[in-house]
Amino acid sequence: MIMAFKWVLVVIWIWVWAAYLAATQSVDGLVRISLKKHPLDLSRINAARITNRVAYQQSDNGDNLKANIVYLKNYLDIQFYGEIGIGSPTQTFAVVFDTGSSNLWVPSSRCILSVGCYFHSKYRATMSSTYTKIGIHCKIPYGSGSVSGYFSGDNVKVGDIIVKDQEFVEVTREGFVAFLAARFDGVFGLGFQDISVGEATPVWYNMVQQGRMSQKIFSIWLNHDPESPVGGEIVFGGYDWKHFTGDHTYVPISHKGYWQIEVGDIIVADFSTGFCKGGCAAIVDSGTSLLAGPTTVVAQINHAIGAEGLASLECKNVVYTYGNLMWDYLVSGLCEKLPNPVRRSFVNCDNLAAMPDVSFVIGNKTFTLTPEQYILKVEERCSTVCLSGFVALDVPPPQGPLWVLGALFLGAYHTVFDFGNLRVGFAKAAIL
């Protein structure tokens, strides 16, 4: 009897201690989401797309239409995702936390004509006591198609907090195959309301307005250590000192909508490319792994690191396999001239140590990426294939030239997104 009473006391003590820890975590105002990581495969990275299109909207005076460049991607190169909950009781979804878009969407139980919906968790409105019908239809474009559905309202659980009456999209049709093999169910947009489809209020806006964040900031730490089981962490309301070293360099938002900043010169092996000396726009985007930029600069970088297009690589493999003097004579120089339609550039994994560093000048400070940081390593059958993380994206003025700093950059530099002061901060990321 005495032994049983002792066990009861132990259980009560553990419960009280856990409650204390939970209270402590809520007092510091930080909401933490652990991120999972899964490896890329060659077929997905080859099919990944970053592109743009022109969208027209009324000018401020309403007299005519003005053209805006809309930046599009398809998430096939995504490695990092985390979990949220929607509804009461909570229905759990794996989502991409994407600073390059602003809507929250997940598959709907009414998604019956798209194969991809059958391989992911689906939101069931009838199972939630806090569901609110909105019913306005919408379509969200991506680099290889679109998703469409309608708006609904419900409570959203982010970490250990509840965001009430959040608008989100129940997707009823996934218009491309990208999500069929994806590990994530939907997308959690972290961009500004200016680019939100349907002008829906982003979740993190409501987190601020409902007093769920002590500071109007969130931060992202991505762990690119292949040996670590920890994918990374997104922290709402502040940042974790363990995630970075040194101080953050802050630069202002240059154009509200995306988390868009100005970058200066791009430096390859201590030599200026000269293209962005007068300034280029750059979108800080956790929703892609890639580093996209003007063809002129990307070509210089890929040439400097010895990158080859897929067609060129396969051509040389044929030469190697069937090599003789006549064949070698016929195709000499031809392999380098073959087009690379999917814009993927391969490098020799054994040459990483000899490749140059690539640096971005941001806020008068140089942010350097080593070959280990800008090269994507992809498992293909029983071997490892290495690809350049740099891809071409040509955006005309006045919106361009434009860079996209994806997860390869965020993996090297811990990033703070400061909504209160409209700025972005970078510090060297810690490896845990």
How many C-alpha atoms does 239 have within 13 Å on its Cβ side? 24
Catalytic residue among 77, 154, 265, 285: 285
**Quick one: tokens of 128?**
């939630």
Which candidate, 265, 365, 356, places its Cα nearest to that of 305?
356
Catalytic residue among 77, 98, 185, 265: 98
Measure the CA–CA gap between 282 and 266, rounded to whole angstroms.
12
Residue pair 35/183 in contact (Cβ under 8 Å)? The answer is no
Measure the CA–CA gap between 158 and 161, rounded to whole angstroms.
6
Active site residue 63: no
Measure the CA–CA gap between 379 and 232, rounded to whole angstroms.
21
Active site residue 247: no
Which candidate, 133, 83, 73, places its Cα nearest to that of 108?
133
Length of the chain: 432
The burial class, CB within 10 Å (0-12 / 13-18 / 19+), for 218 is: buried
Residue pair 85/168 in contact (Cβ under 8 Å)? The answer is no
330 contacts: CB under 8 Å, gap ≥ 6: none
The burial class, CB within 10 Å (0-12 / 13-18 / 19+), for 240 is: middle
| Max Cα distance, the chain (Å) | 93
Residue pair 339/309 in contact (Cβ under 8 Å)? The answer is yes
Measure the CA–CA gap between 175 and 328, rounded to whole angstroms.
45
Measure the CA–CA gap between 314 and 48, rounded to whole angstroms.
20
Residues involved in catalysis: 98, 285
